Amino acid sequence: MYPVLFRAGPFTVYSYGFLIAIGALAGVAYLYYRGRKEVGLTYEQVNNLFLLLFAAAFIGGKLLLFFEGPSYYLRNPGKLVTGSGFVFYGSFLLAVPAMLWFFRKNKLPVYPMLDIMAGVTCLVHAFGRLGCFMAGCCYGKPTTLILGVTFTNPSCQARPLNTPLFPTQLAEALYIAGVFVVLQLVLRHRTFYGQLFLIYLVLYAAGRFALEYFRGDAGRGFIIEGYLSHAQLIAMLFAAAALYLYPRWKKRNAITSIKRPRV
């Protein structure tokens, strides 16, 4: 599509990085607004948490990307660091323990913070998928549907060029935005802390599992070639864990009318 937004002398602004930055700003704003209202989060804590999560997400996303194609990245190590590729679940798997450590270190209530971070994740991820669309990565399979998108720029990652592809990036961005809306609606009637986080895990896992069948970048890695990708297996595990925890957290973290936060 448009991997490069513009160039100004020696500076190049890439669409993927630009949209990730927009998503990060939206995430910071949401984190500060909800965190200050619900748990008294300070601006300094917001900045420190986001820097920690950025580092954890970068490392985790790159690590899982490496394990999806180790032979390629061993031959081309520079591509792993400088390329725009990330694996969301890799970022998520490392970001979760990092933020749990931060919550406990700063004596923040873990379950309310997890609910807040579910919304933050949606915002950053949705903009990230728009960046994927602009860069052409995470592209879909060839399609004859009217909503197919044709990539023509040789510098984008989508293949094949000049062929209508299913817009998996846009579909996922729209789906994640829908999940964010659902979370905000549930927030008004939340019955226990951690509920939004668990709902997010289940909803995103279901959507990601389905969208994987429309993806055309076969190099992302499969457990069963053509049938079960790495992301689908992780999605199944996350959904199962969330469903297992739901009744337990509901009993443990019930919100009474006295301590219910303002929405």
- What pLDDT, on a 0 to 100 scale, did the predictor assign at position 86? 66
Q: How high is the pLDDT of residue 214?
A: 96
Give the model confidence (pLDDT) of 79-106 as tens digits.
545 555 567 888 898 999 999 999 999 9
Q: Which residue positions in the chain have pLDDT lower than 70?
A: 1, 65-86, 257-263
| Bridge partner residues of 256 (DSSP) | none
Rounded to whole angstroms, the Cα distance separating 127 from 219 reads 23
Nearest alpha-carbon partner for 235 in 199, 197, 258, 207 = 207
Q: Rounded to an integer, what distance in angstroms lies between the CA atom of residue 70 and that of residue 58?
A: 17
pLDDT for the residue numbered 263 = 54
Determine the pLDDT at residue 189. Answer: 92
Whole-structure pTM value: 0.90
Beta-carbon neighbour count of residue 78 at 10 Å? 8
The helix (H) or strand (E) run that includes residue 7 is strand 4-8
Q: pLDDT at position 258, please?
A: 47
3-state secondary structure of 230: helix
Lookup: tokens for 185:
């609606």
